[in-house]
Amino acid sequence: MGFWAVIPAAGLGERMQSTRPKQYLPLGDKTILEQTLTRLALHPDIDGIVVAIAPNDVWWPELKMTFDCSLLVSQGGESRADSVLNALSTLSENTTDDPWVLVHDAARPCVRLQDIDAMLQQLAEHPVGGILGVPVTDTMKRTDSNDVISETVDRRQLWRACTPQMFRLRQLKSAIEQALMAGERITDEASAIEFLGLKPVMVMGHSDNIKITVPQDLIMAEWFLKQQSEVS
């Protein structure tokens, strides 16, 4: 049924302390969003990308991008879940199939194509789907309301949830709709799927798939992109 990518890119990224949304900040010779879209478009199995942008986004029209795969644009919403749902609705209007959808953060430009390969290989026949993640390596502590350590948590089965997160179009769309209607807090696509009682799979990725959140992350992301280009 094919594979599509969905990129929610309507956020402001206020922690970047910038006059423009973080996805439009420069990273190397492109913006962060351009780097992310280019990386996904390079994967030969990605049939198309749907980008959800904010209403009255003045920066998107400035980007000049040409890809071999399809590129659709939808309107972003108040939350990430709303933006993803709008993008899924746009995709539903443009296909009669039920493709796999890989939802990916706009601010994760360093995702490796080999990690996407691993997702497609491990999940393409799975009845639910799954997400890319990285095992936790730091010692984990739980604190009380006064920030006093109450417990050291066993990290052996703890993961950092990353993106892409890969699920079937119709199931993911229905999961988000139902979770939002129930007033659930949707922190990522997997949490919506879990709300239905389903169990996604964790696929191991690389730790350089960072999400740019604060200014110093830009320096790290640029270094990772440089290292990746030298290896390839």
Looking at residue 111, its pLDDT comes to: 97
CATH superfamily of 3-231: Spore Coat Polysaccharide Biosynthesis Protein SpsA; Chain A (3.90.550.10)
Q: What are phi and psi of 151, to 5 degrees?
A: -165, 145
Which of helix, strand or coil describes residue 165? strand
Looking at residue 232, its pLDDT comes to: 61
Tokens 């988000």 — which residue?
176
User: At what angle are helices 169-181 and 80-93 packed, to 10 degrees?
Assistant: 140
pLDDT tens profile 5-37: 999 999 876 777 678 899 999 999 999 999 999
* Cβ-proximal residues to 182 (8 Å cutoff; 6+ apart), any chain: 195
What is the reported pTM? Answer: 0.94
Helix or strand (DSSP H, E) at 225: helix 215-231
Tokens of 3: 């594979």
pLDDT tens profile 89-105: 999 999 989 999 999 99
Identify whether the C-beta of residue 5 lies closer than 8 Å to the C-beta of residue 87.
Answer: no
Looking at residue 149, its pLDDT comes to: 97
What distance lies between CA 131 and its chain's CA centroid? 9
Where are the domains positioned within the chain? 3-231
Report how far residue 131's alpha carbon sits from residue 149's, in angstroms, rounded to the nearest whole number.
30
Residues of the chain with pLDDT below 70 are: 1, 13, 17, 232
Looking at residue 64, its pLDDT comes to: 85
Looking at residue 12, its pLDDT comes to: 76
